[in-house]
Structure 1
C-alpha cells in the first residue's frame, strides 16, 4: 500500500468518526434525555412514591440523565470546535467527575433495586420486611456518598486535555 492511500484511508476514517460523533451523538442525547424524563415523570407519580423499587429506579433515572448530559454533550460540540472541556481544565475535570459518578450511581442503584425485588419476593418474612422505602433511601444515600468519595479523585488526580486518551 502506498502512503497516499494510507493517508486517504486515515482521512476517511477520521471524517466518518467526526460525522458519527456529530449526528449519532445528538440522536443518543435526545433519546436518552427523553427516555429519562419519561421515566422520571412516570416513577414520580403518587401511587409509586411509597414503592422502594420505583424510588430506586427514579433516582437511577435522574443519575443516568446527569450521566448522559455530562458525558455526551461534549461529543457533538467537539466536532464544531465548541467544546469548552478542551480548553478549560476545570470543566474537563468536572465533566469526568460527573460522568463517572453518575454512571456508577445509576448502575449501583439498579443493583440495589434488584436486591429490593429479591427481598420483597422472598419466602422468609423477615427478609420481606427489609424491603422498605426507608432502607432504599438509606442505601441510595450510602451509594451516592461512597461513589462521590471514590470519584472525587477525578477532581485533583485527573490530568485534563491529554492527547490519545479515552475521554477525547
Structure 2
C-alpha cells in the first residue's frame, strides 16, 4: 500500500512539474519572440537590413511552433486532455504544422547565413 501511494505521489509531482515548467517556458518564449519582432520592426537601424527580415520571419514561425507544441504538451501531460485522440483534423493539422514550421524555421536560419555570406 505504501508503494502505491508513493508512486501516486511521484506521478502527481511529475504532473505539477510539467504544468508549471511548461507554462514558464511558454510565457517566456512568447515574450521573447514578441520582443524580437518588436525590436526588428520598430527600430530604424534594422529596417533596411535584410538579415532583420529573416529574423522576424524566424521569430514569427518559432512563436507559432512554441504555441502549438507547448500548449498541446500542457494539455496532454498536465491535464490528460489529448485532442489528437478526439479530433482527426487536429491530429493531422498538429503533426503537419509542427513539422513544416520547424523545417521552415531552420531553413530561414540557413538562408540568413547564406545571405550574410554572399552580401
For Structure 1 versus Structure 2, the TM-score category normalised by the shorter chain is: 0.7 to 0.9
Identify if the C-alpha distance between structure 1 residues 82 and 41 changes in structure 2 by more than 3 Å, giving closer, same or farther.
Answer: same
| Distance 1:5-1:42 versus aligned 2 partners, 3 A rule | same
Moved over 6 A (4+): none
Structure 2 length as normaliser, TM-score? 0.82
Can you give the 5+ residue segments of structure 1 that lack an aligned partner in the other structure? 121-168
Shift of residue 8, structure 1, vs aligned partner: 6.3
Give the TM-score normalised by the residue count of structure 1: 0.60
Q: Which has the larger radius of gyration?
A: 1
Deviation of the 1:88 alpha carbon: 1.1
The structure, 1 or 2, with the larger RCO (C-alpha pairs under 8 Å, 6+ apart) is 2
Call closer, same or farther: CA 1:6–1:97 in 2, change over 3 Å: farther
Structure 2 unaligned spans of 5+: none
Structure with bigger helix share is: 2
Count of residue correspondences: 117
Q: Distance in 2 between matches of 1:10 and 1:111?
A: 46
Please report the RMSD computed on the Cα atoms of aligned residues, expressed in angstroms: 2.2
For 1:62, the equivalent position in structure 2 comes to: 60
